[in-house]
Structure 1
Amino acid sequence: MKVRGIAELGGLAGTTLGPTEWHEVTQEQVNLFAAATGDHQWIHTDPSRAAEGPFGGTIAHGYLTLALIIPLWTEMLVIEDIGMGVNYGLNKLRFPTPVPVDGRIRLTAHIAEATRLDENSVQLTVDFTMGLEGSEKPAVAAQALYRYLA
């Protein structure tokens, strides 16, 4: 979906977007995330040890899976003619199912609220569900807040 400007963003309440295409989570992504955050726990970065662990292999960090919402969100919603957008925070976040390395995820979004803050800004409250191929439970369930400024 493509929208233009603050006024169109303000009219998105109740809109559901997605799902996106499937995206594979690789060991390279997991290793880069571990290097960036300093979280080198073996369930993420040691395939040999993780094969004997509780998940049968390495899994993505929960916060890596959360971070992948951003590129998938921008795949679903293109916003033109605004000055900027910022992540404002999360109201809710859960990781019901771990994402195995080489697993595939996709995102669905429901815009629960679109609140005009003033004539030059709007806040979106978005309910995200990150699906995991082959799993009935999602990998991520999150309610995020985004602020967009003209």
Structure 2
Amino acid sequence: MAQTILSYEDIATAAGKELGYSDYRVVTQEQVNTFADATDDHQWIHTDPEKAKEGPFGGPIAHGYLTLSLQIAFWSELFDVTGVKTRVNYGLEKVRFPSPVPVGSKIRMKATIAEVNEVKGGYQIAVDQVIEVEGASKPAVVSRGLYRFYA
């Protein structure tokens, strides 16, 4: 993985730019349990490995929102902009969770800058983001992230 670094002046022409893939990360039961504590979502399919063996996924799975939140870490591996004073995670569009992430799986993110729009004082980029599970036929998370950069 090589991080794409653009200057603020180059953002305007970045639409269509493939950012490639992040490194793989292993999703651990400890991460899942910590996320469950932070969100008060202790559903057994996430936090009870023994009971989850008998469940629909054959073992514990990560929360969808845990997997989604890892986009932040993956994003910083893939992309940076120089010459900015402020960066804002503006939001998400079209979030879907097509398949589960079994605990112990390796996941990574692929990203492409889909659109660039000028906003007051800066630029907003829309990034198509896909988190995939190593060896799975469907992605775990598909979303469009919106990020703003101000000079």
Q: Same fold (TM over 0.5)?
A: yes
Could you list the per-position Cα deviations for residues 36-68 of structure 1 after superposition, in whole angstroms to 9, with x for gaps in the alignment? Answer: 111111111111111111111110000000000
Aligned residue runs from structure 1 range 1-150, under 5 A: 1-5=4-8, 7-118=9-120, 120-150=121-151
AA in 2 matched with 1:20: S
1:36 is paired with a residue whose SS is helix
Could you list the per-position Cα deviations for residues 2-26 of structure 1 after superposition, in whole angstroms to 9, with x for gaps in the alignment? Answer: 1122x22222101011211211111
Q: Which runs of 5+ in 1 are unaligned?
A: none
Which range moves more in the overlay, 76-85 or 59-68? 76-85
Q: Distance in 2 between matches of 1:91 and 1:78?
A: 21
Task: Tell me how far 1:79 sits from its aligned partner.
Answer: 1.9
Q: Distance in 1 between matches of 2:41 and 2:115?
A: 34
Task: Tell me how far 1:109 sits from its aligned partner.
Answer: 0.6
Q: Return the TM-score normalized by structure 2.
A: 0.94
Q: Distance in 1 between matches of 2:13 and 2:82?
A: 15
2:13 is paired with a residue whose SS is coil
1:130 is paired with a residue whose SS is strand
Q: Which runs of 5+ in 2 are unaligned?
A: none
AA in 1 matched with 2:60: T
Could you list the runs of 4 or more consecutive aligned residues of structure 1 that deviate by over 2 angstroms after TM superposition? Answer: none
AA in 1 matched with 2:137: E
AA in 1 matched with 2:29: Q
Aligned residue-pair number? 148
Task: Tell me how far 1:30 sits from its aligned partner.
Answer: 0.7
Q: Distance in 2 between matches of 1:72 and 1:18?
A: 11
Q: Distance in 2 between matches of 1:32 and 1:9?
A: 36
| Identity across matched positions, percent | 51
Q: Distance in 1 between matches of 2:11 and 2:32?
A: 33
Task: Tell me how far 1:31 sits from its aligned partner.
Answer: 0.8
